[in-house]
Amino acid sequence: MLSVTPQDNFTMRYSVITLALLAASAIATPQTKHNGTVQEETRTLDEIHKAALLEGGVVTVWHGGDESNRQDALKKAFETRFPGMTLNITVDLSKYLDGNLDQQIAEKNVFVDSIILQTLHDYPRWKKQGALLNYAPAGFSKIYSPFKDADAAYSGLFVTAWGMTVNLNKTNATVQEYTDFLKPEFKDKLALTYPNDDDAILYQFHLK
């Protein structure tokens, strides 16, 4: 999850972000650091809900994905849990959304409240640019440190694992590592997303 914070004269609504672990939301205000630690949110969801309604009740989220209706269930769950709220959610490939946000940042006209992508390398870069809001939702301290920023500029929503699957009716070749799929016997027999189109697949091969 990423939350954008106002910098200079950015014309943006910065105080509402989506936590969206399943359908939660929060009003995020710039939080004071004490001894280098951002204080966790102490308000209840109902208290946050009331504050959000006073601010207009609209949350704009960009979410990585390959189908425009992929997050319809999230929108329905969010608006059911928080009556009076509107979740404007746009779904597109992460490699397009991050570039669009870069343009908003460059033009100092950011209108996205929260952006959820699989292009994880974008978040440290945006933090370095000073484009992120430091906000620690309730329970932030319980998130394992590898999955969150120490200054609460961003955190993970979920972890996805890939597994290797082989159809033994088609081959008896042994597969133990992803690089095994590069063996000549697998030529024209692989089914996977083209790495240049799916950064997650490309990164998986890069790691191996």
- The series of mean pLDDT values per 10 residues for the chain, 208 residues long, is 33 31 36 65 91 91 91 92 94 92 93 89 92 89 91 86 77 79 81 71 70
Structure tokens at 19: 């936590």
pLDDT of 36: 56
Give pTM, 2 decimals: 0.73
**pLDDT score, position 95:** 87
Q: What is the per-residue pLDDT for 16?
A: 31
* SS3 letters across 29-73: CCCCEECCEECECCCCHHHHHHHHHHCCCEEEEEEECCCCCCCHH
From CA 58, how far away is CA 87, in angstroms rounded? 6
CB 8 within 8 A of CB 130: no
Does residue 114 sit in helix, strand or coil?
Answer: strand
Supply 147's token pair. 């999955």
pLDDT at 13: 29
- The DSSP H or E segment spanning 96 is helix 94-106
